[in-house]
Each structure stands twice: as C-alpha cells, then as structure tokens.
C-alpha cells in the first residue's frame, strides 16, 4: 500500500495539467476576484444621510429639532440636517440634494422623491427613524397623561438616541463581507476539480482504457487495494494543493475564509475527498478515454458551481427557496455552505450536516466506482 501511494504521488506531481487547474487557476481567479471586489465593499459603507427638516412652532417641532440636532453632531454623524421652510425643502428634495424631507407635527411625516432610487437604503433607514421618533413621542405623551411621576425616567431614557449608523457585525468573522461568498465558491470549485485525479485513478485501473491499466489487471496485486491506495494518494496530494490556495487567499489576499481554521481545513479536506470520489465514479462509466471523461466531469462540475453561486452571488439562496433539496445534495453548495456556516454561526449543527452529507456522498461514489471496476471482465487485453 505504501509503495502504491508513493508511486501515485510521483505520477500526480508530474501531471502539470492537474497542477494548473487545482493550484494555479484558482489562485489567478482568486486574485482577479480580489481586485474586482476590493473597492466594491468600501463603496457600500454607510455615510451620513442628508435631510431637510421643516419644523412647526410647537412642542413637536422643538422635540424633533433637538433629536435631529443631536444626531447631526460628532465626527461621523447619522444625519446632515438642513432646517428650512417646506417650499425650500421640496426644492432640495427635487434637486436630489437630500434623501428625504421630514415635516414635524403630532406625527412626523417623511417625504421622499421617486427619482432617488439609488438612495433606497438610506430612505428606508430614515423611515425607520421617523417611525421610532413618533413612537417615542406617543409614549412620552401617554406617560405624562397617565403616569406623570414616570415622565422624568422616560425623558432620561430618551436622552441617548440610538446610533442608527453604528456598525454592528452580524457574523463571527468581521472580515467577511458580501463578496466573500465568491471566494467560498472558488474554494468549492477547486475542491471539485480534484475530480480529475479521481478520473485518472479510474481510467488507469480499467484494462481496456490504458496500457498501464492492462498491466495492473494481470498483476498479482488485488485491484481494490491498488484503487484505494491511489485514491488515498490522490486525496492527500489534491488536498495539499488546495491548502496552498486556501492559505494564499487567507494570508496573502487576506480574504476572510479562515474562520475557525481547524474546521475550515476539515471542510477543505472533505471537499477534496468528495471531488476525488466524484471523479473516480464518473471515470468508471463508459469506455471513453481520460480526456473525454475529464471533459465530462467539467461539464458536471461547472453547473454545480453555478447553482452554488460562483457566477451569481445569490443563486444558492434562490435555489434554497425554490428547490432546497438541490442544495442538500449539490457538493459545491455543501462545501460553500460549510465555509459560510463557520463565518456566520456560533453553533456547528448545520456545518456538521454539510460535512456528514459530503462524507456520505464520497463513500457512495467510491463504493459504486469500486463495484463497477471489480465487475469488469475482459475477453482480451
């Protein structure tokens, strides 16, 4: 077994095509991703929201003025307010100088322009702000009418308004952004590209497909032990290549793919094992040569990567809504989701489900492949 693994390592190391697709191509593509996405994340950071405020000469106007003024102070204010008349405010809104116009009253009202679709997020935040301001005013008035002794406590609680533009991370890894999922998908693709090594193992153990396989067929060694040894070698070798690409993304490009590093490496190894076993299974089908079967495996892998979100970022989410069973059996989606879970969730229930599913798929593919090769009989070689 050791000799089989050692000889397989030497053959894999000399396979420059395999080295390119597993190591060089993902590094090049990852670098292009990094260049393309590095500036996009910065452009999406929340900035101060310009608004026009029209005040009434009463308690409600004074309350709104104090609140807006407080939110317009500091180095990174939530609002950039312009206090003016209603006519001036509407002109500012029509010209696109402000994202919204707030009119004070017993219920503050927000007006937005239909022509400022690019500011939808800011307008939604303003709507939430106005809604909360109205709720606070209603609560304070209700308290003063029914429980005046508690009015001072309510006013004190309102002295520190929410920091609407405070940055709060929803995930464990603060380095993860919207575009990190593309790098997760890139790692999944590289793992599945290990299928080429699996195809090689299958073809080189079918006596009617290569001269090397013919010599193996008539040798004294047990075929299953040779196949298992070569699969072990292929998995280890492809895992090392993927590990180099992983560390390049994580420590050279500093992309946040290394959350919970031991588990991330386990995801990578399981993904490579699934890729090798998938290639081995497809390599046992039909009588075509290695090049044709490599073409077939590429034709299978790329649609799987597309469905997991490599080309369209939210594709995996859409598939999960329409046909969730597809994501439960798609190896690319399972690998991608494993990395995603490590960055987002505290628990490991979903991560464990993904890894177990990948292992079951690997066992299934290897079992079917070995069964197919063991049943092969040749009239002549």
Give the number of C-alpha atoms closer than 13 A to the C-alpha of residue 361, restricted to the C-beta side: 24
Q: 26-30, 157-161, 263-267, 351-355 — which is least confidently predicted? A: 157-161
Asked if residues 112 and 100 have their Cβ atoms less than 8 Å apart, the reply is yes
pLDDT in tens, 150-179: 766 656 655 555 544 455 554 555 555 668
pLDDT value at residue 163: 45
Q: Is the pLDDT of residue 257 over 90?
A: no
Ranges 214-218, 228-232, 262-266: which has the least confidence: 214-218
Q: Kindly indicate the confidence band of residue 360, based on its pLDDT and cuts at 50, 70 and 90.
A: very high
Measured distance CA(66)–CA(136) in Å, rounded: 13
Residue 358 vs residue 42, higher pLDDT: 358
Range(s) of the chain covered by CATH 3.40.190: 49-157
Determine what percent of the chain is predicted with pLDDT higher than 90: 41
Task: Tell the CATH topology of 49-157.
Answer: D-Maltodextrin-Binding Protein; domain 2 (3.40.190)
Q: What is the pTM of this model?
A: 0.68
Q: Angle at CA 288, nearest 5°, toward 283 and 293?
A: 45
CA-nearest of 171, 195, 187 to 335 is 187
Task: Please tell me the distance from the alpha carbon of residue 118 to that of residue 227, in angstroms, as a whole number.
Answer: 58
CB atoms within 10 A of CB 198: 31
Report whether pLDDT(300) > 90. yes
């Amino acid at each position: 077994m050791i000799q089989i693994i050692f000889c397989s390592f030497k053959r894999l190391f000399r396979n420059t095509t395999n080295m390119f697709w597993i190591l060089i191509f993902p590094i090049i593509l990852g670098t292009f991703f990094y260049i393309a996405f590095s500036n996009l994340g910065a452009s999406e950071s929340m900035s101060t929201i310009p608004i026009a405020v029209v005040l009434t000469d009463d308690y409600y106007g004074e309350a709104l003025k104090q609140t807006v003024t407080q939110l317009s102070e500091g180095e990174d204010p939530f609002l950039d307010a312009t206090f003016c008349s209603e006519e001036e405010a509407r002109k500012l809104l029509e010209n696109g100088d402000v994202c919204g116009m707030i009119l004070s009253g017993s219920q503050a009202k927000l007006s937005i322009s239909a022509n400022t679709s690019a500011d939808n997020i800011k307008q939604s935040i303003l709507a939430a702000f106005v809604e909360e301001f109205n709720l606070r005013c209603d609560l304070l008035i209700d308290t003063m009418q029914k429980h005046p002794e508690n009015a001072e406590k309510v006013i004190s609680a309102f002295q520190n308004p929410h920091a609407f533009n405070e940055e709060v991370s929803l995930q464990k890894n603060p380095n993860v952004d919207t575009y990190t999922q593309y790098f997760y998908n890139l790692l999944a693709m590289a793992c599945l590209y290990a299928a080429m090594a699996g195809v090689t193992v299958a073809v080189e153990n079918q006596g009617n497909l290569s001269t090397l396989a013919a010599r193996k067929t008539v040798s004294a060694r047990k075929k299953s032990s040779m196949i298992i040894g070569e699969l072990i070698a292929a998995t280890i070798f492809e895992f090392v290549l993927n590990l180099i690409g992983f560390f390049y993304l994580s420590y050279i490009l500093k992309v946040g793919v290394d959350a919970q590093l031991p588990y991330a490496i386990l995801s990578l190894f399981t993904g490579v094992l699934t890729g090798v076993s998938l290639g081995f299974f497809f390599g046992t089908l039909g009588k075509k040569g290695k090049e044709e079967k490599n073409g077939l495996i590429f034709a299978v892998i790329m649609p799987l990567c597309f469905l997991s979100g490599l080309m369209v970022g939210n594709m995996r989410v859409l598939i999960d809504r329409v046909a969730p069973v597809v994501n439960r059996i798609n190896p690319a989606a399972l690998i991608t989701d494993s990395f995603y879970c490590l960055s987002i969730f505290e628990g490991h229930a979903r991560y464990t489900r993904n890894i177990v599913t990948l292992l079951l798929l690997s066992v299934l593919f290897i079992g079917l492949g070995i069964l197919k090769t063991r049943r092969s009989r040749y009239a002549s070689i």
